[in-house]
Amino acid sequence: MTSISSPGANGSSYDVFLSFRGEDTRYSFTDHLYKTLKQSRIDAFRDNDDINRGEELKPEIQRAIKESRASIVVLLENYATSYWCLDELMLILQQKREHNHYVLPVFYHVDPSDVRKQNKTFAIEVKASSKWTDHNAFAGMVFILLNTISLWALHMHQNAP
């Protein structure tokens, strides 16, 4: 089994890229996860800046995804309402297909079955994203998100910090 904590084996700059919706978990769960990874000597990348509405995915984020050996995707109710989160996810899954990039989805305060079946709050949030002008692109993003469910995942229950 290959360890993700050996950077450089595939020319990677980071062991792990963290994908999360900043306003929801930046200073809570994701911050704790980032610090724990660093303490474990796992070189992780997280974006410390908010992306303003209308901006494209930052080139440094694209580069960090491409230069990481793995990604941890923190899925929560509002993840699918963010164009940038879905754009990151699309690039992460492209890296998985083309470059054997490891992907670990973490379901944080959302049940994986709600995402898969489009139930409860997660479905409402996905439908709220219908502000997209290109409905085919939106449908493609939702399909990518649902495909993430088929990957091995970690489910954080409601009582998790």
Active site positions, annotated: 88
- Residues with Cβ within 8 Å of 100's Cβ and at least 6 positions away in sequence, in order, are none
| Residue 117 tokens, joined | 């079946």
